[in-house]
Homo-oligomer: A and B are copies of this chain.
Amino acid sequence: MPKSQERCQEIREETRNLIIRKSVLYFARNGFAGTKISDLSKHIGIAQGTIYIYFKSKEDLYREIFAISDKIAQNNKLTTLVKLPLPAEKKIRMMSDYVIRNLKEDEMFSAGIALFTQRILEGEADQSFYKTTEKIIRQGQKEGSVVHGNARKLSELYWGVVYLYAVKGLYTSDYAMISSDDLARLLLEDRK
């Protein structure tokens, strides 16, 4: 019965994904210590035991969640963006559009950013994430479109603000989201 074999595999995959998807949000909102398996399983809509079929422990699940948050944060268009033959200002505007749109429409994106940034704060995540943005910033500074200052610091500020609104989005749906322009303005020189 190879057919049912596959189907089984599919179901497994589905449940596993369901758990991860729902957990990302839950952990992003409540943190590791603030998340009880009993609450989480209720939130997912499955039994407590089921989680342990797919993950060895709460920490194992958390680690998985982090791997996901890494992907969400890093597998965005940024890496391709930096290589395009465009002026930095354009890149920054595109990046900001992309980020704001995702913050608005995709809770998983917000959760990913939140978890990822928290880990950076705790010194556990790879800070190379900021590198790509730094490159764009330096390019822009040469082109005269980006404000002066330490590129790393500006990059951190930029993504810090993104984190800020990611967290806001996780807690309330009703809040004044920053505009793409506001976000871009953190890096760009004002035009008079």
Give Cα distance in the complex from A167 to B165, angstroms.
15
Neighbour of A121 across the interface among B171, B178, B189, CB < 8 A: B171
Q: A161-B161, A164-B163, A182-B157 are in contact. Are A171 and B122 (CB under 8 A)?
A: yes
Chain B residues closer than 8 Å to A168, beta-carbon distance: 121
The yes or no answer to A152 lying at the interface (CB within 8 A) is yes
Task: Output the least CB separation between A21 and chain B (Å).
Answer: 22
Give Cα distance in the complex from A30 to B122, angstroms.
10
Neighbour of A161 across the interface among B32, B47, B164, B172, CB < 8 A: B164
Task: Check B161 against A176 for contact (C-beta < 8 Å).
Answer: no
Quickly give the copy total for this chain: 4
Chain B residue at minimal CB-CB distance from A150: B176
Chain B residues closer than 8 Å to A190, beta-carbon distance: 147, 189-190
Chain A 36-80 against B: per-residue CB contact (8 Å), 1 yes, 0 no?
000000000001000000000000000000000000000000000
The yes or no answer to A160 lying at the interface (CB within 8 A) is yes
Task: Output the least CB separation between A46 and chain B (Å).
Answer: 11
Task: Output the least CB separation between A100 and chain B (Å).
Answer: 13
Q: A121-B171, A172-B123 are in contact. Are A178 and B164 (CB under 8 A)?
A: no
Give Cα distance in the complex from A147 to B184, angstroms.
14
Name 15 extra pairs, CB < 8 A, besides A33-B34, A157-B164. Answer: A2-B47, A30-B33, A31-B33, A34-B34, A121-B171, A147-B185, A147-B190, A153-B176, A156-B176, A157-B178, A161-B164, A163-B164, A186-B186, A190-B190, A192-B192
Residue numbers of A with Cβ under 8 A of B are: 2, 30-34, 47, 121-123, 147, 149-150, 152-153, 156-157, 160-161, 163-165, 167-168, 171-172, 176, 178, 182, 185-186, 189-190, 192
